Amino acid sequence: MLNNRKSYPVLNHCIYANTAAYGLLNDELLEWRQNHDLDYLVGGSSMKIESLGLIGETRQIVGEFFKCKKDLIALVPNFSLGLNMLLEGLDSEEHILLLENDYPSVNWPVESRGFQISYAKINEHLEQNILEKVRNNSITVLALSLVQWINGIRVDLDFLKSLKEEFPQLLIIADGTQFCGAFEIDFENSGIDVLGASGYKWLLAGTGNGFFLFKDLAQRRFTIKTTGFNSANAVLTAKNTIPFNKHFEPGHLDSLNFGSLKCALEILNNIGMKEIAAHNENLSKKAGKGFDELGLLNNYVIQRNRHSTIFNIKDNNGLYNHLKEENVVCSRRGEGIRLSFHYYNTVEDIDAILEIIRKMR
């Protein structure tokens, strides 16, 4: 993984522990974007019309990367817009289970539409909390983030699969924005019915691109009303034969943004998601052990078997400002400091952060 650090100039002057806020720009992606816009500069509409094929190529690689049929993939500018379009097509009688204090763009769109809602607590017993709510409350939909944005708690994908096997009619909608690109997922063989994500965090694709993946059966639960000329691929006679996934693409999709997603996925593929996931698992264990030894983690994080690479540590004695002074890029979230590590980080980065904290004590 060390060789890949050369592609991220930011790492030359800081310890970047903020991928949960924004992923870094790869110099290969920068070059692609510059060439794209240069072609647009000199080619005008001809270039843009020719680039329409790039959207199909992006859909193809998204399907291959996450193991989903390409005609069940919707390309969207970001997760939040996609979820709002999706929920507009969901029956108002559904009883939806959310997680307490989940990402606002997951919970708020549900809460604003008048569904019956229950909540499960996020703690060391997260999966058991979800199971008990589903078993005892006539839940019909579960909507949650695969990784929690504040504390990094990561839901067990095997649990979601077993939950779906026990409750096959339960519709599971997942936000993978803090998961996809950091760890592997086989959507078709998962328990998830709908998986959405924005591309600007762990996928390192920049802003303005995202996707939603659907299972065949999931389509039957929604009546999507969003539509536009692009939904029909600019065919006037196709208004009444629009495929399910194209309802989420009513207007033109930007070739720069979605070409960036394609390029970013190619970069991750070239490195290898198995290698990236294994590296990130190692970073997770290293950081978790170090922060635990310093007494900086909440008990419910310590007691879980697996965690993401996002950690929220206690902000003692002005620690956040001190980390900034030491060129550690991180974020304030909740009552603590959120540090997040990706494949371009090293165990040495974590050791350096731990040493900074020790010296401050």
Cβ-contact 243, 249 below 8 angstroms: no
Residues of the chain with pLDDT under 50: none
Cβ-contact 52, 251 below 8 angstroms: no
Identify which of 336, 343, 352, 327 has the alpha carbon closest to the alpha carbon of residue 283.
343
Question: Can you name the CATH fold of 2-25+273-360?
Answer: Aspartate Aminotransferase, domain 1 (3.90.1150)
What is the rounded CA–CA span in Å between residue 117 and residue 142?
Answer: 10
Distance of CA 29 to the CA centre of its chain: 19
Query: In this predicted structure, what is the pLDDT of residue 317?
Result: 82
Grouping H, G, I as helix, E, B as strand and the rest as coil, residue 201 is: coil
How is the chain split into domains, by residue range? 2-25+273-360, 33-270
What is the rounded CA–CA span in Å between residue 247 and residue 81?
Answer: 12
- The encoded tokens of residue 193 equal 């019915």
**8-state DSSP, 78:** -
162-165-169 Cα angle (round to 5)? 130
Query: In this predicted structure, what is the pLDDT of residue 77?
Result: 98
Per CATH, is 33-270 categorized as 2.130.10.10?
A: no
Cβ-contact 16, 2 below 8 angstroms: no
Identify which of 182, 181, 112, 175 has the alpha carbon closest to the alpha carbon of residue 142.
175
Query: In this predicted structure, what is the pLDDT of residue 204?
Result: 98
Query: In this predicted structure, what is the pLDDT of residue 4?
Result: 85
What is the rounded CA–CA span in Å between residue 118 and residue 103?
Answer: 16
What is the rounded CA–CA span in Å between residue 193 and residue 187?
Answer: 8
Q: CA 95 → CA 112, 145, 245, distances in Å? A: 14, 18, 24
pTM: 0.96
